[in-house]
Amino acid sequence: MTQEQTLKTLIDGLNDDLAGEYNAIISYIQYSARVTGPYRPQLVQFLQAEIPDEQRHAQYLADKIASLGGTPVVEPRPVKTSDHTREMLHFIYEAEAETVENYRQRIDQAEAAGEIGLKVQLEEMLSDETTHRDETKKMLDGWA
């Protein structure tokens, strides 16, 4: 790959990540409004606590895409909705697990492009998403 292609691949990947972060923000807002059942207070707190993380990730990605000469996307990945709390948590688990894999790939692409500052930031974001994924998994595992 030429340097130019390497950079384009990275920018396209970051834009896909940005669409995923928008999706996460919208999902957490919508789900926190709709969760029902005996665990609603804890779930509302859990979901709303993740929104600032995802917003920070989205802002960082948008800034970085623009710095690299790209245009940040404005459309989220399609948001899945459900009437059932457990299914909402399952959607969150799937999305967070996918995000961890995407950032793992993006870290390699950032390194290939010589963008080490970006790589370090992506590692921190991967760490945040891993916590989100694992906490969601624990809730699902104990669901009656």
Site for Fe ion, rule CB under 5 A: 21, 54, 57, 129, 132
Question: Least distance in Å: CB of 9 to Fe ion?
Answer: 21
Question: Least distance in Å: CB of 65 to Fe ion?
Answer: 15
Question: Least distance in Å: CB of 20 to Fe ion?
Answer: 7
The smaller minimum CB distance to Fe ion, of residues 6 and 55, is found at: 55
Residues with Cβ within 8 Å of 117's Cβ and at least 6 positions away in sequence, in order, are none
Question: Least distance in Å: CB of 125 to Fe ion?
Answer: 6
Q: Which two tokens stand for residue 32?
A: 């926190």
The label of the residue with tokens 């926190």 reads: 32
For residues 31, 81, 140, 123, the Cα torsion angle rounded to the nearest 10 degrees is -80
Residues with Cβ within 8 Å of 112's Cβ and at least 6 positions away in sequence, in order, are 6, 10
